[in-house]
Structure 1
Amino acid sequence: MPAAPGATFRAGDLLRLSATASVQFLRPITVRVIRELEWDTYDGWVWLDAYELGTRGDAIARRELYVRREGVQVLNTRLPTCAR
């Protein structure tokens, strides 16, 4: 599902980034958001601090990514919290 216009990405969001998010993702990647950075950008674009995930779902690299908000595919929102 594409991100809603003006949506804010939050810690734990699982996202698929492809060429619709930025030309740098001709080979799509999956990331788990750490936070949305509050840096100045062009309208409709956003900086994300995120972990790139490998094929098994484990973090393989921490990255700062510049993406077009509406081009991001949201796979799910934050992980459920554990009951203690």
Structure 2
Amino acid sequence: MPKPGDLVQVTRAASVQFVEPIRCRVVRVLDWITYDGWVWLDVYQLDGRGDAVARRSIFVRPAGLRVLRPAPAPRPTPGLRPTPGLRPTADA
């Protein structure tokens, strides 16, 4: 299953509508009801330079996607550490 931030190539293996392969950056996996083995993805379609040219919702089989580059792992923010003895409030 793709994750937000993954760079994927979408081809006919993912869906017959993609006669010409496209490259996309996954924004999110939508929780819409689908057929078993299919998902709706919210993506940015990328051009040859890697710039976003369109935002699309696409219906694909995750097994047919080719992950070109997984999403980078989140990096911890330096200097932000929990304060000992301080608990978060309900409105935080």
Q: Which has the larger radius of gyration?
A: 2
| Equivalent position to 2:61, from 57, 64, 68 | 68
Residues 1:52 and 2:45 aligned together: yes
| Equivalent position to 1:31, from 24, 33, 39 | 24
Tell me the residue number matched to 2:33: 40
What stretches of structure 1 of length at least 5 have no aligned partner?
1-6
TM-score in terms of structure 1 length: 0.84
RMSD, aligned CA: 1.4
What is the aligned-residue identity percentage?
Answer: 49
TM-score in terms of structure 2 length: 0.77
1:21 CA displacement: 0.4
What stretches of structure 2 of length at least 5 have no aligned partner?
79-92
Quick one: structure 1 residues 34 and 25, their matched pair in 2 at CA, closer, same or farther if it must change by over 3 Å?
same
Q: Secondary structure at the match of 1:75?
A: strand
1:69 CA displacement: 1.3
Give the number of the structure whose residues are more often strand, by fraction.
1
Tell me the residue number matched to 1:3: none
1:79 CA displacement: 3.1
Which protein has greater RCO, CA pairs closer than 8 Å, 6+ apart?
Answer: 1
